[in-house]
Amino acid sequence: MSFTRDLARETASLRRQIHAMPFNRELAEGQLDPAIFQGYIIQDAHYLEGFARALALAASKAPDAPSVAQLAGSAAGAIAVERELHNHYMGLFGVSADDFAAIAPSAACDHYVSFLLRSATIGDFPEAVAALLPCFWIYRDIGHEIAQHSGSENPYAAWIATYSGDAFDQSVARMLDLTDRLGAAADDAVRARMHRAFARSCWHEWRFWDSAYHRETWRQPEPFEERV
């Protein structure tokens, strides 16, 4: 069994739950509330910047030139391709650059980005790659599954096409191959860290969609009244 197949087996239950989430079911049916999708796209744009930074940080730790080029290229590609997608939907929703700048990252977005940046900064290279993998892999699987049951009339067809397309497939395949090579070369301690990082990022993927669906921001304490 390859290392990535082992990662998939250990997170199979959580990943099935992600596929079954109301956000993804309703998006596939074209019935997702536009207000929910608008909030998701805004948070995803915030996430994208942190994700690209984490890819660039991981690239700086790569042990060989091809791996540096792969991750640095993924960082640039994430900015270019997904920003085009975000701009498409923000234009449809009438979200200006000023509107976007005025909306802070949600708690779920901030938590996920912080985890990726920490993994890429203080973790070793294999751990950083394992933490970054779910954003590639889960989105590809979701995109392909939804594409099988959705048509061009779906209002979210551009999103579906991005994550079920050949270009994204190729980037995911390269990331899976890199993770398999790192896992095969690693000792038990490194593989254990890779497993933990991968599982935590899978949880963050679930949390990000769940938070977007319920339109959560930052939970605040109840007002405190001091007794005298």
> Is 83 a domain residue?
yes
> Is 132 a domain residue?
yes
The DSSP line for 16-40 is HHHHTSHHHHHHHHT-S-HHHHHHH
> Is 227 a domain residue?
no
> Is 219 a domain residue?
no
Structural domain that includes position 131: 3-213
DSSP H helix total and E strand total for the chain: 12, 0
Q: pTM above the 0.85 mark? A: yes
Q: Can you tell me which residue has the tokens 């939804």?
A: 146
Q: How many other CB atoms sit within 10 Å of the CB of residue 175?
A: 23
Q: What is the pLDDT along the chain (228 residues), one digit of tens a residue?
A: 799 999 999 999 999 999 999 999 999 999 999 999 999 999 998 998 899 999 999 999 999 999 999 999 888 877 777 677 777 888 877 888 888 888 999 999 999 999 999 999 999 999 999 999 999 999 999 999 999 988 888 999 989 998 999 989 999 999 999 999 999 999 999 999 999 999 999 999 999 999 999 999 898 888 777 665
d(CA 134, CA 19): 13
Domain harbouring 158, CATH code: 1.20.910.10
